[in-house]
Structure 1
């Protein structure tokens, strides 16, 4: 390997390791903890390769790439970052970085990338917007838990970054709860279509009028089709007709990009006849598979902490994980994937007695089922810990009997709440009671309303007197599966 490498990283250890490895490989190395110094070296014409961190004391490494491109178009830049998010991968790709590696990176992998970069110069940007310093990159969105150091997630991030603004349809496959809908939304929010229409189409509302309305709403933007294999034969035929009209019709320039979500094995759905093969191949221009959480164990704890921070930003108590609590969470298989993990972290944020969530609290919640709503019945209350001084605890007070069948709803709710308070004896329940009780009432209300309307979300939203988008978000947050069961006359 031959050439001069410029390294910018505020971590002295990383600078030392890279300097030693590249020097042994035959390179000349200049290392700094300052982007300003890096810029001076570039302006002076030094270096055949730049390796830069993102978050530096005097700026953002990715933000410097357009200036490097302008001054030295032939100079390749490899980005390394501890911010292992889809946003970082997309920003590095849009800035025309030679490559992006998450920290902690595999040294042989970085050396291989450095060798490739020194052996050949990167492609030159054809889009003039990539060569100016005026482009505003999207900021990280705390609402999107798309983070991960695992190789499978980094490969997914790179694929999303490469096809983000392509006109090809995208099919996202994976188990329930892995974040397919979040990734589908990112194809709109992070793309150059973000200022145009966006619509989501589900099998619950797939009649001809609903499909036409969704297509019109998404014009020029993005149409997300959730689980098209769940659509009946007539609805699938209507989808094919709509796609064909967009491909050849006079409005094709305003056709939305189609992003669909599927189960873990779309080909099996085709073989079983659950989705028409001609529809499948129209939707699978690019196929992306999202790995289950159990396949990226090292991502569980960082993701859990991210979700705790997001919960705090939404008004829940600000909590942190103790190391022992993090170990318990890491060992859990999470059959419900990211959705189950998010429900667990929100529940712990509400029920933890201290700012730091303990190992016992995690174990207690997991033993009850982390994806379920927080119960307020007798069976939900765990055994109380002995007092710090080993003193005997006061005996449990007698519980108020539940009202007889036929009593008013308010009487039944009051009786259940009183029993919940009585179970805590002379202590108050954990903070956050208001939100816990509302969620406990909200889930069965939505489930009963959906059942009464045959799974029709539009009718259900009208029945409840809420916006349909609000209903959809609540169904997702509460992990309520929607199945359309019957037609309403």
Structure 2
């Protein structure tokens, strides 16, 4: 569907700049009105508020930043882009404090301004406060009115006009790939491919070939040349999901690509330019993995240029009703029966802790659309499913395990008190528990990796990867057991 042309109001006292900038923005399809003074600006604003205001700082009849601060307070949904020949840190800080969406020092590139305007329009058009709760635009990649999601929107709006590397963190089911797609779809690479690769789903011996491609004969079974994800995503965005599961050797090669902008395929010698934007995601704490030696520190800093932390659904409960209705509407568009929610059902949804986050809510709404007997889903329809999830989530721990965990926490608090609030405890505990757990399961299954993996619910390749990383040798364990 074609969007209505955006209304851009440009304030600059230099007539030549007004002409050049207006022509560039009109070529982008916008409707541009220009003024040269604050007085003329006020007159235009009385006639109507534009979609974006672009303003200079030093004006014949006043200060553009003071005006921007006033407008930001009166019209918080109006994106303001500040232009200034005073290219100092103080001016940039003042622009930010005034509530400006972006700040561009003069002279600026017209393409840069065009991208800034696109980012401002994306934020305005997709801002939750502009979306009616009963008429959600199905094209929106992300939904939510909560302050936590507003912070996410603000970061996305600022990075879409750049090629900066983004690291998205958050629990499983929070929508990390949706953030990556939003950054791609709203950015300047939107016409090029978006390629996603899940590191946890690929055997470690194939990851480098998946990323960088391979030449014919590079390894057994390589009957022809194959392009990797970097080549497939040329000009676009490469989304590296579950980056925390990337093997160390592949981390090294990825780091070299990020540093040099070039790579070679497996078995190849020709340098290939890596013309992609990288968005990575993980549900792990990479800082803790760096401390434990599982993730390269230099790669972490290369990826963590723009961090975006997605909040779990339990921290944005005011978004639950909006999301639930959206998923029911989406289910109806997919051919399922159209359902609505009673007030009691909404209250029950908002009280739930959602361990599976947005994905759990989506699955519940689709299931309710199919199994619900009436057109209105009430609390009775949901209580069974939510009760099962709640019982599972709060099932009491074995007393021995509970005591061991509490003893471990007491030891950390006593010996390393400074680490109790540093965000690494979960990964550190898992790291300590994982090794004895895997060894116990190997013992239980006679060091047979296939049977042990099946019993643990793991893919055999995943278990083999963890054995290598933990330095566990099943063959040696079997030998010692026999002895």
- Normalising by structure 2, report the TM-score: 0.53
1:224 is displaced (CA, Å) by 0.8
Match of residue 156 from structure 1:
152
Match of residue 442 from structure 1:
none
Deviation per CA, 1:291-334, whole angstroms, max 9, x where unpaired?
11111111111121122222222222211111111000000000
Match of residue 295 from structure 2:
275
Structure 2: stretches of 5+ with no match in the other structure: 1-32, 84-94, 127-136, 213-227, 265-269, 393-449, 465-483
| Partner SS for 1:201 | strand
Q: 2:363 and 2:458 mapped to 1: Cα distance?
A: 15
Please, what is the CA RMSD of the aligned residues?
4.8
Match of residue 51 from structure 2:
65
Match of residue 434 from structure 2:
none
Matched, 1:174 2:180: no
1:39 is displaced (CA, Å) by 12
Match of residue 207 from structure 1:
207
Structure 1: stretches of 5+ with no match in the other structure: 1-37, 54-60, 83-88, 99-112, 373-450, 456-479
Q: 1:483 and 1:268 mapped to 2: Cα distance?
A: 25
Give 1:428-443 correspondences, 5 Å limit. Answer: none
Q: 2:335 and 2:47 mapped to 1: Cα distance?
A: 36
CA change 1:347–1:81 in 2 (3 A) is farther
Match of residue 385 from structure 1:
none
Q: 1:355 and 1:324 mapped to 2: Cα distance?
A: 15
Partner of residue 231 from structure 1, selected from 237, 241, 246: 246
The answer to whether the Cα contact below 8 Å between 1:50 and 1:78 also exists between their aligned partners in 2 is no
CA change 1:115–1:263 in 2 (3 A) is closer
Partner of residue 353 from structure 2, selected from 323, 333, 345: 333
| Partner SS for 1:191 | coil
| Partner SS for 2:143 | coil
The answer to whether the Cα contact below 8 Å between 2:257 and 2:274 also exists between their aligned partners in 1 is no
- Normalising by structure 1, report the TM-score: 0.53
The answer to whether the Cα contact below 8 Å between 1:223 and 1:258 also exists between their aligned partners in 2 is yes
Q: 1:131 and 1:168 mapped to 2: Cα distance?
A: 17
| Partner SS for 2:51 | helix
CA change 1:52–1:318 in 2 (3 A) is farther
Q: 1:321 and 1:150 mapped to 2: Cα distance?
A: 20
Match of residue 45 from structure 1:
40
Q: 2:324 and 2:236 mapped to 1: Cα distance?
A: 32
Deviation per CA, 1:428-479, whole angstroms, max 9, x where unpaired?
xxxxxxxxxxxxxxxxxxxxxxx99x99xxxxxxxxxxxxxxxxxxxxxxxx
CA change 1:165–1:39 in 2 (3 A) is closer
Match of residue 302 from structure 1:
322
CA change 1:151–1:51 in 2 (3 A) is farther
Q: 1:223 and 1:230 mapped to 2: Cα distance?
A: 16
The answer to whether the Cα contact below 8 Å between 2:338 and 2:369 also exists between their aligned partners in 1 is yes
Q: Determine which structure has the larger helix proportion and give its number.
A: 2
Q: 1:128 and 1:300 mapped to 2: Cα distance?
A: 41
Q: Tell me the number of residue pairs that the alignment of Structure 1 and Structure 2 aligns.
A: 312
